Chain A
Amino acid sequence: MTLDRRPSSATGRLWLLRRVVFGMAVVLLGSVLVFAATQVLPGDPARAVLGHEATPERVAALRTELGLDRPLVAQYLAWLGGVLTGEPGHSLVTREPVGGLIGDRAVNSAVLVLVSAAVVVPLSVFVGAVAGRRRDRPFDRAVLVVTLGLTALPEFIIALLLVILLSTSVFPLLPGTVLLAPGQNPFGEPAQLVLPVTALVLGVLPYLARLVRGSVIDVYESEYVRTARLKGVPENVVLRRHVLRNALVPAVQGTALALAYLTGGVVVVEQVFNYPGLGSALVDAVNNRDFPVIQLICLVFAACYVAFNLLGDAMTVYVTPRLRTAGR
């Protein structure tokens, strides 16, 4: 088995195409579920808009105006058609286009997730690799204890502890609340990003670092590493050429899952820090029964999950020669 052989491009493309189509089907199924879920939510957007003193006639009139009295299938198809043509409809509450309402927030959330990922992935690989390399030494044990402790803490507890430690009480160094004006670039005030990013990093690091550590140890115990060592290959070359390359596969998978997890975890962290992202928009939309907004945000989350997983799988195949050539 040689590492530098490239996959047959036709087979690879077919496989990727199949996965993309399958992913799209999952998102479509997700859209049905999201739509159905919003329909069974108790409550009524027309009432949320008009307030509870509104007369039944006014509520009925608004329901007609908003198209809420049409058959469900017709409502779903109209919505799906809108999403596919880039017109995901208007908010029932503010009557503004949904895209405009959540666009700025989607960018903010994406910034948070990507910055966190950019920090957590290299950090986890480094920590995991060093811990695995120095298995059972003090560093490894410290990593195990700290990551175990962090795993036990829910993200919002980590977030609150960070605020107490670094913002309000012990060391008043960083802002504990994010105050971003609408349309303001989140990088405009980088200090505000530190705590939310740290909370997300600490939420994902234990999982990813332990995964890397585990796979590094696994590879170290494999026969080909032993063979390499017996051949007299220097230890750092063993690490670089044999261990890390092979340990990368679970790490890539783990990163994809971690990204998907970050996308969901961002909802809680945004709430704690008042970060104006998709998470807080979703909470508000649910409170107002603003169906088009709920549906689009959930769909964005679902699409991110599918996309990250797809990306993870594709990269796994790329870095695993065995899988690359399996189609032949």
Chain B
Amino acid sequence: MFARIWGLVIKEFLSLLRDRKSRFVLIGPPLIQLLVFGYAASFDLNHLPYAVYNEDPGFASRDLLGRFQGSRNFEQVATLTHSREIAPLIDDRKALLVIHIGPHFTRDLLLHRPAPVQVIIDGRNSNTASVALNYVNGILLAFDGDWAAQAGWGNPPAQLVVRAWFNPNLLSRWFIVPGIIALLMLVVTLLVTGLSVAREREQGTFDQLLVTPMTPAEILVGKALPGLIIGGLEGGVISLVATLWFQVPFSGSVLALGIGMILYLLAAVGVGLMISSLAVTQQQGLLGVFLFLVPAIILSGFATPIANMPQPVQYLTLVDPVRYFLVILRGVFLEGDGIATLWPQYWPLALIAAFSMTAAAWLFRHRMA
């Protein structure tokens, strides 16, 4: 029996790695995706293009604007001399925000009067706008504190000092890169298993497979193993790149990550085989992969937190294997988790894996005829 399964596994690998293009497609894209995602997918903003419209001749406005010039989050692209110029600059996206300082800024400050600073910001991408405003407020707060201390405005209001755990500089990359491991493992496993039976059906070789002495269970295992092996290898390589290239700290237990990976791959392979046994053509298989993949990623907490979703959608995320694996990845990488802490993630993942494998086996047997 093992010899037969092994034979099928070898055949699967041969058909996957047969020609140069397929080989490349299994190795190249995940690496490209990892690099592009790792560098591009970030909510941290820098080089935000801004323009200055300063009507105040005094030194206080120069001091304030100097703080923007010194920040690597901001990059000045224009100096305006008239309020007419503001709208076209923002409309054409030449500048994300315009800082407008009125003519009496320094005078007001010297007279101990509150001095307004107008900030006009392009809200077309509301997340960028909110984050950029946070940066602006940070600079204004620091200016306030220094000014109040120097000019004797009395005790400045008590300042909050915030300390961040696990990710002291709040780098989004540390959050996104471990998530990419889950994403790419899922993509490759689903594509390998989800299209494999459909391809054989389309090319007519599935009937040949059926007349061999192999039992349906053996065919199923033979189809499952390549997905497991390729997904596992890819997961390992990407984890290495994440720590060595992207310098994401790995503070937890390797064994805990390994257990998580195996359970996650089993769940993914089960889903892939379910799609495979339902799809008659590769196009249907691909549609199935997409219909599972996109919601699974979007509802997993990969880019946006589950806690922000409406309650009914949050219940839906409970059946999403990616959700649990993401907690495992981030826990192992950043929070230093071991097997004991991750138990609440393992058992739902194991349950999903058991269910999807059983369902795949059942579907497989009933769609063979």
Chains A and B bind each other? no
B interface residue numbers (CB < 8 A to A): none
